[in-house]
Structure 1
């Protein structure tokens, strides 16, 4: 899977860090929400399209202004 988009909540502590990724293999789409950095917990949800993945990623991020998109 290739990361198409990646957002980070801006918290530099491991416990507070949150990441949301949109990934694809060219046919399948998925959104991953990760809590606590690379060694933390994560949840992956498959989506039928990029549009659906974007909607889900937006919902998982909420409207907190600290979220920023990172280069992939």
Structure 2
């Protein structure tokens, strides 16, 4: 799987949140991470790119504080 999009909320402390969209060309998944790489994460499979983008938007919440890396 390769990362298509990666957003970060800009917080370096405990409230750090990352959202990733990954694909292998056929399968799409969205991962939401809380607390950085050692924190908790949730992965959801999606049927396609459009649904992955919708889910990532929902998991990010207010967009003004997010940065795409």
TM-score range relative to shorter protein: over 0.9
* CA RMSD in angstroms, aligned pairs only: 0.7
Q: Could you tell me how far apart the structure 2 residues matched to 1:37 and 1:62 are?
A: 18
Q: What's 2:23 paired with?
A: 24
Question: What is the Cα deviation at residue 65 of structure 1?
Answer: 1.5
Q: Distance in 1 between matches of 2:63 and 2:6?
A: 15
Shift of 1:16: 1.0
Q: Greater share of helix residues, 1 or 2?
A: 2
Number of residue-to-residue matches in the alignment: 69
Uncovered stretches (5+) of structure 1, i.e. residues with no partner? none
Query: Distance between the aligned counterparts of 1:21 and 1:34, measured in 2?
Result: 8
Structure 2: runs of 5 or more not aligned: none
